[in-house]
Structure 1
Amino acid sequence: MAVNKDLKLPHDGMVLVSDGRKALFLKNQGDDVFPNYQVERVLTAGENPQTRDMETGKPGIRGERHTIAQTDWHDLAERKFATEVADEINVVGAAAAIKAIVVAAPPRTLAQLRSHFSDAVKQKILAEVNKDLTKHPVFEIEQHLTGRA
């Protein structure tokens, strides 16, 4: 769903901004006309070293039929973190006070999150944004999502 100037997140609406290493849970303390996003919670993944630093031995026999694929520990850690974030939004989103949720994440993370959202959360999703906004300050996230510059 594309974000545009018509996105109206109601008071107490939730915004989840996530990537594979960080998640921001923002709550609209304003209203749908004058939003005021405030940070409710920040989750960060534990240290995630480079895959080459995590290897314990030789990757296996290299030949035409005996190649063993190298495990991408970094990818596994990001998938695990996305599952943890989805579990958290499932708990928060189950509250009756949360009427609408906007999710912003890079496409791969968004797909991981989406696969773990509860039905209750899926029903409350107002918009999904395929973009990494985790490194932006809150006021820029607000501007991006509402289309106000």
Structure 2
Amino acid sequence: MPLPNNALVLVTDGRKLLLLRNHGDAAQIDLRVERHDERSDQKNGEMTTDAPGTNQQSGGYGRTAYEETDFHQLEEDRWAKQAAERVNARALRNDFDALAIIAPPRTLGELRKCLHKAAASKVVCEIDKEMTGRPIADIEALLVAHTARAELADV
């Protein structure tokens, strides 16, 4: 489906967030930045205080170590949830009629889980790709190519 005028485009990856608005129309996409956020990347020592725990085995000798928590992934999941909350608030205010989401596969999955039904019903395009570090022209080209493939698939 072509990206209509005034559609909102969410580009995120767990560290950066871009909210773009299509000021063009379905034939000519013209994205402009509405919001840009980026979180600072913390080191493991700043996030953890202990080594992973251990567990006494019921039979035999020794201890089994628990798997260490991936705090960076937890932060990225939390970031995706916050991005979804921003989109949800805008959807409930009827700030947009169509939504396109561009995010890596894991982040896209987290976004899907957290989107309100009002926002989820407005999704016209989902692309599982990392694009936060790319210029807006590349994002526009990706959306044009994706909508062209979708139109060919519908024929």
Q: TM-score, normalised by structure 2?
A: 0.83
Deviation at 1:48, TM superposition (A): 2.7
SS in 2 for 1:147: helix
Deviation at 1:62, TM superposition (A): 7.0
1:12 aligns with 2:6: yes
Offset from partner CA, 1:28-68 (integer Å, 9 cap, x none): 011111111000111222x2323355332332337765322
Aligned match of 1:147: 145
Aligned match of 1:4: none
Q: Does the aligned pair in 2 maintain the 1:103–1:127 contact within 8 Å?
A: yes
Q: Does the aligned pair in 2 maintain the 1:21–1:81 contact within 8 Å?
A: yes
SS in 2 for 1:17: strand
Aligned match of 1:83: 81
The percentage of counterpart residues that share the same residue type is 34
- Structure with the largest fraction of helix: 2
Q: Does the aligned pair in 2 maintain the 1:102–1:125 contact within 8 Å?
A: yes
Q: 101-110 or 56-65, which moves further after superposition?
A: 56-65
Aligned match of 1:94: 92
**What are the residue-to-residue correspondences of 1:4-43 with 2, within 5 Å?**
7-43=1-37
In structure 2, distance between residues paired with 1:60 and 1:80: 24
Identify unmatched segments of 5+ residues in structure 1.
1-6
- Give the residue type in structure 2 aligned to 1:57: D
In structure 2, distance between residues paired with 1:82 and 1:57: 26
Deviation at 1:95, TM superposition (A): 3.3
In structure 1, distance between residues paired with 2:129 and 2:136: 15
Q: Between Structure 1 and Structure 2, whose CA radius of gyration is higher?
A: 2
Give the aligned length. Answer: 141
Identify unmatched segments of 5+ residues in structure 2.
58-62, 147-155
Q: 1:61 to 1:145 in 2, by over 3 A?
A: same
In structure 2, distance between residues paired with 1:75 and 1:59: 16
Higher relative contact order (CA 8 A, sep 6+): 1
Deviation at 1:13, TM superposition (A): 0.4
User: CA RMSD of the aligned region, Å?
Assistant: 1.9
